[in-house]
Amino acid sequence: MTISSSEIKRNMTIILQDEIYQILEWQHRQAPKAPPTLTLKLRHIETGNVYEKKVPGNQKLELAMTDTREAQFLYKDQDLFIFMDNASFDQYELDEKIVGDEAKYLAEGINISIIFLDIKPLAIELPSSIIMTIENTDVGLKGDTQSGATKPATTTTGLTLQVPLFIENGQQINVSTSDGSYLGRK
């Protein structure tokens, strides 16, 4: 199956020059009086190496057939993240290379998707927002009611973000997984 550059999504798996890659980032450019180009930041599935490749912007990309399974994060054991398949109750051990920066959003019990190529896990996919608990934040100053005033806070997973002054330690908040921003209280 082939897709155009407008159908690209993060974590898609494609076949390029007979090698299998996972798309980490992409950028489509159309310069004046020049053909469009597509710049792809790709991770080679077998080696884990990250490359940047440029292809013509109108080139069709071939998708590699992947399987997505719903799983629950159980715990972290040294460099391994342990997940349980929600349907079969199988356990998967994913290393830090696969989980990557998404680790800062993983709290015990959170449901995510794991993308597989055959039986090999490639990446995890988080929901668009998750509920996190504030572990440490300063007390908001009384009388500091400036519109939109924020303060730094750290969640139980180690994620640091800006929150409104009224948020206190132990409160649960909704956080965007795309940019790590505060969305509201639970």
Most confident of 3-7, 57-61, 142-146: 57-61
- Residues, the chain: 186
CA distances from 15 to 37, 59, 67, 120 (A): 18, 13, 15, 16
pLDDT tens readout for residues 103-134 = 899 988 999 998 888 888 888 888 888 999 99
Q: What was the pLDDT predicted at 36?
A: 87
| Cα–Cα distance for residue pair 79/153, rounded to 1 Å | 25
pTM of the model: 0.72
The reply to whether 80 and 55 lie within a common domain is no
Q: What was the pLDDT predicted at 145?
A: 59
Q: Which domain CATH number covers 36? A: 2.30.30.30
Query: Could you tell me the two tokens for 114?
Result: 């794991």
The reply to whether 29 and 74 lie within a common domain is no
Most confident of 10-14, 49-53, 86-90: 86-90
The reply to whether 6 and 59 lie within a common domain is yes
Q: What was the pLDDT predicted at 146?
A: 61
Measure the CA angle with vertex 135, ends 132 and 140; round to 5°. 105
Q: Are 27 and 8 in contact (CB under 8 A)?
A: no
Provide the residue range defining the domain that includes 14.
Answer: 2-63
Domain count, the chain: 3
Strands in the chain per DSSP E:
2-3, 13-16, 19-29, 37-44, 50-56, 61-63, 67-77, 80-85, 91-95, 111-117, 120-125, 129-137, 150-155, 160-164, 172-176, 182-185
Q: What was the pLDDT predicted at 135?
A: 92
Indicate the residue among 105, 125, 145 that finishes a domain: 125
Query: What SS3 class is residue 68?
Result: strand
Query: What SS3 class is residue 129?
Result: strand
Query: What SS3 class is residue 104?
Result: helix
Q: Which domain CATH number covers 96? A: 2.40.50.140
The reply to whether 150 and 168 lie within a common domain is yes
Indicate the residue among 63, 91, 110 that finishes a domain: 63
Query: Could you tell me the two tokens for 16?
Result: 């390029």
The reply to whether 119 and 149 lie within a common domain is no
Confidence class for position 38, pLDDT limits 50, 70, 90:
confident
Indicate the residue among 13, 36, 63 that finishes a domain: 63
Q: Which residues contact 138 (CB under 8 A, 6 or more apart)?
A: 151, 152
The reply to whether 77 and 115 lie within a common domain is yes
Residue with token string 């990557």: 100
The reply to whether 56 and 72 lie within a common domain is no
